[in-house]
Chains A and B, each alone.
Chain A
Amino acid sequence: MILLTRKAVFSSAHYYWNEAWTQPENERVFGRCANKNGHGHNYTLEVTVAGEVDPVSGFVVDLKELKEILQREVVSVYDHRHLNLEVPEFAADTGVIPTTENIAIAIWGRLEGKIPGAKLHRVRVYEMADLYADYYGER
């Protein structure tokens, strides 16, 4: 079994807000992240897949294909977008706040079952160099 990791980057805006709470409650829990005008980050996504090495190609997965899948399923949807306003899984009526944790879970959902020949092992999302979230598909 080999683990293989591919990076991708996207830049997005977001804010944290729970519609069930008042403004002071949101501000107390989320601090500056509750500013409804939003703020943004350069996110780095690391997707790790697990699989056996194909004896003929020597690959676990075709890296070019993996890059295209990340581009199509994630980057084209998230990059230079406002996550709360333009990405369906974080729309206000879903109640899903676009924290780094929930972004990792959402990306897992976008990629699961779409990578031929390999199993999705880990989704890591860096919000900044000193902060990231890992999701292994644990429910």
Chain B
Amino acid sequence: MGTASTKIASGAKARIDFDQSMAGLKSRAIKTGPTVYLTRRYRLSASHRLHSEAYSEEQNQTVYGKCNNPHGHGHNYGIVVTVGGPVNSHTGMVCDLGELDGFAEKSLLQRFDHTNLNTLDAFSQAVPTTENFTREVYRIFQEFVGARVIRIRIEETGNNSFEYGEELGRTKTI
């Protein structure tokens, strides 16, 4: 028992020391590391209907065409998230991918995957076009604390994609 609790105590202390040292390392690395952008793709499936209350039925049909089908339709969306920042010289990483995946699971996939976008609060006042979806996802990812989310791209189909956010590689503009 004594050995086990010593192990636990020493493990807990190591964890605290380690967390403190990591916090120190992160703050130091921010000043020195070269900037790299890391991009991760998530996938989710959702339905939507493009329809604006500001338009008449006929105008909705003209503007949105088959996307105005009253019963909706769906897509397999690719949500492409780019984070940018200094590479931590102790981990070699811009961002802990586990943290990013955890945030995406909770704040992106659980919120949007296998839903009807029109029924969600986020689209109560806005038509769930992929333009508006991209801005909403960008807004959500600004709450991620593990790294700075620079840019969001949403691939609606293999032929259509939408991007929102900052330009990458700004300091080396061509």
Tell me whether A134 and B36 are in contact in the complex, defined as CB-CB below 8 angstroms, given that A31-B98, A97-B91, A99-B92 are known contacts. yes
List residues 24-59 of chain B with CB under 8 A from any CB of chain A. 34-42
A29–B98 alpha-carbon span in the complex (Å): 9
Query: Chain A, interface size: which category?
Result: 35 or more
A30–B14 alpha-carbon span in the complex (Å): 16
CB of B92 within 8 A of CB of A50, answer no
CB of A133 within 8 A of CB of B38, answer yes
Segment of B60-68, B133-141, B156-164, B166-174 in the binding face: B166-174
Residues from chain A with Cβ under 8 Å of B71 in the complex:
none
CB of A130 within 8 A of CB of B94, answer no
Segment of A15-23, A37-45, A67-75 in the binding face: A15-23
Nearest Cβ distance between residue A87 and chain B, in whole angstroms? 14
- Interface SS majority for chain A: mixed
CB of B89 within 8 A of CB of A133, answer no
A137–B174 alpha-carbon span in the complex (Å): 12
CB of A131 within 8 A of CB of B39, answer yes
Residues from chain B with Cβ under 8 Å of A105 in the complex:
34, 36, 87
Tell me whether A134 and B168 are in contact in the complex, defined as CB-CB below 8 angstroms, given that A20-B90, A102-B87 are known contacts. yes
Nearest Cβ distance between residue A103 and chain B, in whole angstroms? 9
CB of A22 within 8 A of CB of B38, answer no
CB of A97 within 8 A of CB of B92, answer yes
CB of B38 within 8 A of CB of A101, answer yes
CB of A104 within 8 A of CB of B36, answer yes
Question: Is A28 positioned at the interface, with any CB of B under 8 Å from its CB?
Answer: yes
Tell me whether A136 and B38 are in contact in the complex, defined as CB-CB below 8 angstroms, given that A29-B91, A97-B92, A98-B92 are known contacts. no
CB of A134 within 8 A of CB of B37, answer yes
Residues from chain B with Cβ under 8 Å of A121 in the complex:
169, 172, 174
Question: Is A56 positioned at the interface, with any CB of B under 8 Å from its CB?
Answer: no
* B36 CB contact (under 8 Å) in A3, A22, A131, A133: A133
Residues from chain A with Cβ under 8 Å of B91 in the complex:
16, 18, 29-30, 97, 99
Give 8 nearest A-B pairs by CB, closest first: A136-B169, A97-B92, A99-B92, A130-B41, A138-B35, A134-B37, A101-B36, A136-B172
Chain A residues close to B by CB (< 8 Å): 1, 3, 16, 18, 20-22, 24-25, 28-31, 50, 95-102, 104-105, 119, 121-122, 129-139
